[in-house]
Structure 1
Amino acid sequence: MIARYKRIIKALLDANDYVSVTSLADDLHCSEKTVRNDLKVLDQWLKRYPTLTIERKPSVGVCLKGDDEAKEKLLRDLLHISDEEERQLQLLKRLLMTGKPITMQQLADELYTSKSTIHQDLEHIDRWLRPFHLQLVRKPNLGLRVEGEEKNWRMALAKLVEGLVDHAYYMLNEQQLNMVADVLQPYELAFIEKEVQEMEAVLPFPLTDEAKISLAIHIAIAVKRIKQGCRIQMNATQLHELKKKKEYELAKQLAQKIEVWLAIKIPDAEVGYMALHLLGARIRYDQVHIKDGVEPFFREIDEEALRLARLLIEYMSNHIDDRLLNDQELLFGLTIHLHSTLNRLRNGLAITNPMLWEIKRMYRYAFEMVLSFMEQMEKDIQLTIPEDEIAYIVLHIQAALERMHHRKHGRKKVLIVCTTGSGTSRFVEAKFAAAFPEVDVVGIASISQLYKAMEEKKPDLLVSTVPLPSHTNVPTVIVSPLLREHELEMVKDQLFHLRVKQKEKPSYRTIKALVDEQLIFLDLPFKTREHVITYLGGQLYEQGYVDQLYKQSANERESISSTYIGNEMAIPHGEVRLIHQSAIAIGRLQTPIDWGGERVRLVFMMANGIQDKERVKQLFQELVALSEDEELLKQLKQAKTTSEFYQCL
């Protein structure tokens, strides 16, 4: 359970009343959208406490409802989770900080627990180490130790340290430095961060704040490992190529300062390692100013990244929206991102994307489209692109789509209402305009002139200093003339609802049009996703919708990236060229099965050969909406016959 979820539950337990989403977002240093998505995850997690629910009240906030006994148990369980995570963290630090074998009894004594508890914790540690290609080795009569290449060891240490540093603050202040003091020397890390900040001034691009922290951490870990006698190995050809780059010269200057200040000798291979991280650092493109246009600038900096960005945008414009082709901001941002990505991948500096699952769930169609382009791109650059990197690329595409949506639908219009239409309403107008510059205040109306003003101005929201009739048919927020902080939060909450407003009852017409009752299979006994996909793919083949190889193609696609989209639902699919006619085969499992680390019970296997871009987009939007429609999902899971299941859609 991630720390943010625990902090949300703790805040709800402490409040014992409604808490605004805005205040939760402020406390957690994240967006309101993140909090709302976290709350959906917590809805599922709280099912283990049947008497507890998170209740939402528009323009007020959220509240944890339930009996006190269940709340006390939840609090005790949270404390237990904290203790367990803290112990595993200490265990991980101990194993990564020492190069010598250590026995389970020593670990149990140090952490004041039993050997059996340590044994259980080591299973979690083993899983944590695997993505870094590190192995937890048990040596008879000696003990435990972590083994693997030095580069992988450092990546794991960096991940550990970055987990301790709260990136919400994007700074290494005294509190942050103290949090990592038992892994890295605070004064060394602070010195290196200061030097990285100064070095940024001569880079061709400014770095993101997170990239600067990450770079400082990686260099501080390198210093620590050099002191321990552990050195990076780099082949002569790679080092020779790196020495031609400006980043190597900058890394060398930084290394010379570190040698003087920290009294160590940094070999050339270690300077090369610093240069690699500098090349792979994520760049803050909103602070780059180009006078002569995007293409001349990137032809000098990274022509390959520019070429790939153009190919990707052309592909996405053909499949999603042709206006993407003329979006210079997208070309610019994507090119800069690919510049960093290619450097990272070519030098084995993998990154993890903490937003991966959220991006895949929320922007499923854009993710699928980018993923489908990756096969072409991977052949071009002779590299495998992991889904963590793909998800970051999706954010650039999605940002462009939302910019277009904003331009198409315009700014939200607000009408301010008061008793007379003057006086204090001017104060409300001024304060509102300052708090919400992205919204247009279209006028001020008195109660007597309200309906006339609404007819003329057609507002999206009414902000009133007096109670209004319930039949205005426009969302309304009642505030005091002083527009206090909590009232601004209520307005912000309502504006959010306006931006994401959907029909009260979602329509699943596109899905239903592709489903035949003959392709609905209830209570399948399969235990693995491979068996489910093979069975449903076989049914699609037998009824003439797809080629015989379609099920194999879908299984191969699943191995690249899980098609789980939330709420025990997955949407596997294969290559379009193997589809004869579009259809969806649905399988409901007897019991949920493991689907790439998630539980799945409903499988919508798609044979999507639709050519119309808008209809394809609508299909994916409906699938994501369905994965969030808990009432309908409950009906689908309880349906007794295929006919009843079909009628539920």
Structure 2
Amino acid sequence: MRFPTPRLTRLFEMLQNEPLPQDELARRLSVSTRTVRADIAALNALLIRHGAQFVLSRNDGYRLKIDDPDSYRLFSVRQGAVPEIPRTSEERMHCLMVRFLTSAFSLKLEALADEWFVSRATLQNDMAEVRERLGRYQLTLETRPRHGIKLFGRETAIRTCLTDLLWTMSWQAPGSPLAFREALSAGALELLQPILEEIFSRCQIQLTDEGALFLRLYCAVAVRRIGEGYPLSEAISEAVGESVSRAAREIARALQRLTEKPLSAAEESWLQVLIAARQVEERTPGTINADDGEALVNYLLTFVNTRYNYNLLTDRQLRADLLTHVKTMITRVRYQIMIPNPLLENIKQHYPMAWDITLAAVAGWEKYTPYAISENEIGFLALHIGVGLERNYDIGYRRRPSVALVCDAGNAMVRMIEAVLRRKYPQIKLVRALRLRDYERRESIAEDFVISTARIAEKDKPVVTIGPFPTDYQLEQIGRLVLVDRTRPWMLNNYFDAEHFLIVEEEMDRTTLFEKLCGQLQREGFVDAQFLPSVIEREAIVSTMFGDGIALPHALGLLAKKTVVYTVLAPQGIAWGNETARVIFLLAISKNQYEEAMAIYDIFVAFLRDRAVSRLYACRSFEAFQATALACVSRF
């Protein structure tokens, strides 16, 4: 048995996972509540003979009530899988583009309309946007009487358009997983990932995550196109480095093995261009002209990307702002013209992460130039970097709620849901995606709460069930959990512990303290031998005094293997340059946890605002320190 209309099928699927009120059902189906009631009555008339009914609960909405489990189980088996179809205009446009880009024959809109249960007029409306998007790549659609519509254009344009579409669906827009699956051969992406990673690693090609994904998608597209008899014919002459040339040559061989077809020289030359265009090149400081503002900006942004994993290279506004400032700054530095920076202390306290990143970048550049950049000038640069970080990474002064996503629908669906959540709640951090089987095996969940596309049992954290395309009702449920402030208590529990807590009663200098703390962290496997020299070097550049007796020593860059904060209380004080530190937090931050761990600075800002230093160094145990710190941060 199958339901007579697609809408009844969708309604039945929605109510399988969770009870929903009729207003929410009406919004999801784009119908009135009266139509929903009529459809529920129609479903109940069909389900009553199979021992089930949808009943209305005042608080929860419609829910499925099963009176005869055996009869209903047999009915569920007979239902079978419902074919996937695009349901929204955006999904249809994606699917239409994929069909035209991958089809060797003309397509008829009437056949597609019947397949997707929509009218031909609906597809005609979608086609206007499809033609416009394809036109950006010099691809055209021609209509032939009695045959249908066929796409024409260069093979390079077809591959580029298809790759760009898949990349956008994966990272930026809530794309259609149906279109994603139709575009590529089954298993191609998974098969290519280890092959490409090994080649790029061996050839020392550095790529951003976005660049690596784009190249993997292009190769998957190439595998399908070459396999179906559509090779590239136009070779491109472009001067590239030896490492890029070698990587392209090895990838071409891998594609030849996968397609079992010979590859033309044009395939390899096009791969060279794509790799060179997305390679992250680390500029050697010694090659930078000290008077070249463009070179300095490039070096600063590249340093931030390679050392701290924040890619600001594509932020045009940041680049323009930095270049405008740097051009005049070089003149000031060259002739030792000093300008005051009244915001310097505020920048250090409110943009501590941006300050440290910029300070480390400038320190590296100063080794290769005769000029010395003052703290005032670094403060201005740090302000630009800080604004860029907030614009691109939503870095503020509260840790984003961590979320585990349970989804069995594949990577494309995960990326789509992540994009929807990020647009609605930019403060959410999707820590990981779990398959349903992996979730069921876990005894506990470390994240703040769980979002699932299937009905699952709660473990030790709240669960919100959503559909593949979350509705306003489901997003409101997520919002209730997002607004709960767990930031600072989570930080204190996660990164501060009794094993890394020390009370210093005797006299001690900074170097001795660093050697003692770093030695313990190295023995425990948190850092390696490079960490101590880097901490000392960072301290020599500018004092890490944060203010009011608080010091935050740390390394240049993210050198730790695991993130931890070593807390030191020194009631008698430790000489820290021209000041005295009584509360010291040695920060060891790893690249794997850099985004979460950088929010630790917010705790230190709270200590300053609450004037809590005297209360903190008066504590005689870790438990007392933790209670005092928690009481302090809870007030801000």
Could you state the TM-score of these two structures normalised by the residue count of structure 1?
0.38
Whichever of the two has the greater Rg, that structure is 2
Query: What TM-score do the two structures reach when normalised by structure 2?
Result: 0.39
